[in-house]
C-alpha cells in the first residue's frame, strides 16, 4: 500500500521509474532500521489512514503525502536535528522528482513543524501535526504498546534519564491549551490523549 501510494504520487511529477524506485527504496531502508520500533513504516501507514479521514479539508494532498513519507526519514534518538535533516532529504528527493519548488517548501514546513507541534497559520500543517500526535489519543492498549516501542528506541539511555526527559515532554504537551489544533482531531483524540498522558505521568 505504501510503495504503491508513493509511486503513484511521484509519477504525477516524474516519468523516471528507476528514480522513483530508488527514492522508495531509501525510504523503506530508513524506516526498517533495527533501532526503530515505533517510527517505522507502520507509523507512516497509520498516519496516512488518519489523514485520509480529513482529505477533503486538505489543500495540497500530495505535499501532505510527501511530508508523511519523509518526516521521519532521519530518526536518531541521540541527536536533536532529525526534523531538519529529514526536511533536507525530502528537498533532495523531491527536487529530483520534479515536485514544484514552492510546494517543496511547504513539505519542509510540515516536517519541521513536528518538532514543536505548535499551531500553524497553514491548516494543512495543523492537520499533519494532529495526525502525527493522534497516537496519544489511541485506545489504552495501543497507547501502552506505543510507549513500550518508544522506550525501546531510547534504550541507549538509562531509566532515570529517559523518564525525566519523557516526563518533561508529557508535561509540555499537557500544558497546551489544545493538543490538537483541528476540529476533527480535537473531537476524536483530545480527551483520551489527556487521559493517557496523565496515566503515564504516574508511572514515570
What would the pLDDT profile of 122-138 be if each residue is shown by its tens digit?
A: 999 999 999 999 999 99
* CA nearest to 163, candidates 136, 195, 135, 201: 201
Assess contact for 48 and 5: CB atoms under 8 A.
yes
CA distances from 190 to 71, 89, 178 (A): 23, 32, 8
Q: What is the pLDDT along the chain (204 residues), one digit of tens a residue?
A: 999 999 999 999 999 999 999 999 999 999 999 999 999 999 999 999 999 999 999 999 999 999 999 999 999 999 999 999 999 999 999 999 999 999 999 999 999 999 988 999 999 999 999 999 999 999 999 999 999 999 999 999 999 999 999 999 999 999 999 999 999 999 999 999 999 999 999 999
Cα distance from N-terminal residue to C-terminal residue, the chain:
37
What would the pLDDT profile of 166-192 be if each residue is shown by its tens digit?
A: 999 999 999 999 999 999 999 999 999
What pLDDT is stored for residue 38 in this prediction?
Answer: 98
Assess contact for 181 and 119: CB atoms under 8 A.
yes
Longest dimension (CA), the chain: 53
Q: What domains does the chain contain, in order, with CATH numbers? A: 2-203 (1.10.1300.10)
In this prediction the pTM is 0.96
CA distances from 23 to 6, 76, 98 (A): 9, 20, 13
Residues in the chain: 204
Q: Which residues contact 147 (CB under 8 A, 6 or more apart)?
A: 200
Amino acid at each position: 500500500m505504501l510503495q504503491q501510494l508513493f509511486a503513484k504520487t511521484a509519477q504525477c511529477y516524474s516519468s523516471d521509474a528507476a528514480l522513483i524506485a530508488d527514492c522508495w527504496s531509501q525510504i523503506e531502508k530508513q524506516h526498517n532500521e533495527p533501532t526503530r520500533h515505533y517510527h517505522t513504516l507502520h507509523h507512516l501507514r497509520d498516519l496516512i489512514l488518519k489523514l485520509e479521514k480529513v482529505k477533503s479539508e486538505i489543500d495540497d494532498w500530495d505535499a501532505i503525502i510527501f511530508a508523511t513519507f519523509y518526516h521521519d526519514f532521519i530518526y536518531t534518538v541521540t541527536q536533536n536535528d532529525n526534523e531538519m535533516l529529514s526536511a533536507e532529504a525530502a528537498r533532495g528527493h523531491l527536487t529530483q522528482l520534479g515536485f514544484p519548488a514552492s510546494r517543496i517548501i511547504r513539505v519542509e514546513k510540515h516536517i519541521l513543524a513536528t518538532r514543536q507541534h505548535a499551531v500553524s497559520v497553514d491548516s494543512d500543517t495543523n492537520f499533519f501535526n494532529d495526525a502525527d500526535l493522534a497516537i496519544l489519543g489511541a485506545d489504552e492498549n495501543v497507547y501502552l504498546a506505543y510507549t513500550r516501542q518508544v522506550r525501546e528506541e531510547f534504550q541507549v539511555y538509562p531509566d532515570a534519564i529517559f523518564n525525566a526527559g519523557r516526563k518533561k515532554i508529557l508535561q509540555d504537551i499537557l500544558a497546551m491549551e489544545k493538543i490538537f489544533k483541528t476540529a476533527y482531531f480535537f473531537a476524536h483524540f483530545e480527551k483520551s490523549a489527556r487521559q493517557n498522558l496523565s496515566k503515564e505521568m504516574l508511572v514515570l
